[in-house]
Amino acid sequence: MINPADVPPVTDDEKLARFVLQRSQIRRRDQTIKPEAFIPHPHTDLSVTRHLNATEFEIWSVGRGVAQTQGRKLYGRADIRAAGCRAQNLSIRADPIAGNPNHANIHGWPTAKQDQKAIALKLAAVAKKFIPNPNQP
């Protein structure tokens, strides 16, 4: 994980994990991610976890913590490169939080839900594959 005392800015080539806490955000037939996983509504930012200096175990541990905090089940995650977000005129800001120094927010979203969905469609297309939680049957 990133050293909380020395958090670098997010670079374009970084991989970001978006945790999936709703089954409805996954297409079962081909295990791809639906755009809804990338819509920040009702918030103005979209929470993600950077892969930078993190092991797979650490990323999944953060995801389990997120699910537990929200009282939900962790179905898996979708990974996307920061450049894919920036190509949609979004920006990514490092935002370390307790228990997750790799936390970041994707911000710059339009306020209209239909505009958010248009961007989320493009992000889901770039992310493509849903990565199931390895600790679930």
Mean pLDDT value of segment 75-102: 97
pLDDT in tens, 28-63: 899 999 999 999 978 899 999 999 999 999 999 999
> Of how many residues is the chain composed?
137
User: 56-90 burial, b if ≥16 CB within 10 A, otherwise e?
Assistant: eeebbebbeebbeeeeeebbbbbbbbbebbeebeb
Report the sign of the C-alpha dihedral through residues 95, 40, 64, 82, in that order. Answer: negative
Find all residues with CB under 8 Å of 103, minimum gap 6, and list them: 47, 48, 49, 50, 62, 94, 95, 96, 97
pLDDT surpasses 90 at 136: no
Tens digits of residue pLDDT in 96-112: 999 999 999 999 999 99
pTM attached to this predicted model: 0.95
